[in-house]
């Protein structure tokens, strides 16, 4: 294998590692929005917002809402 082939393998491996690291952080949550909405509904079911929200801060909003 020549020098250019080695460079292509190293660069390709780096790109594959970056893609593998970004998949669970960015792509999976965006592709499964309904699953995350249901999980948040279960997690926030017993929370009374007025009791836990400090004064002066913005009220909780849906992080998955489209603007």
pLDDT tens digits along 14-54:
999 999 999 999 999 889 999 988 998 898 888 887 777 77
Q: How far apart are CA 44 and CA 58, in angstroms?
A: 17
Cα 13 from Cα 27, distance rounded (Å):
19
**Would you say residue 6 has pLDDT above 90?**
yes
SS3 24: helix
Whether this prediction's pTM lies above 0.85 is answered by no
Does the pLDDT value for residue 9 go beyond 90?
Answer: yes
Residue-level pLDDT at 23: 93
Predicted confidence at residue 3, as pLDDT, reads 83
- Higher pLDDT among residues 13 and 59, named by residue: 13
Where does residue 23 rank: exposed (0-12), middle (13-18), buried (19+ CB within 10 A)?
Answer: exposed
């Amino acid at each position: 294998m020549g020098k250019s082939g080695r460079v292509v393998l190293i660069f390709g491996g780096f790109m594959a590692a970056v893609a593998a690291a970004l998949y669970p952080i960015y792509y999976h949550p965006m592709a499964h929005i309904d699953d995350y909405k249901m999980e948040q509904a279960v997690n926030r079911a017993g929370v009374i917002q007025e009791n836990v929200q400090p004064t002066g801060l913005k009220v909780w909003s849906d992080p998955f809402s489209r603007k």
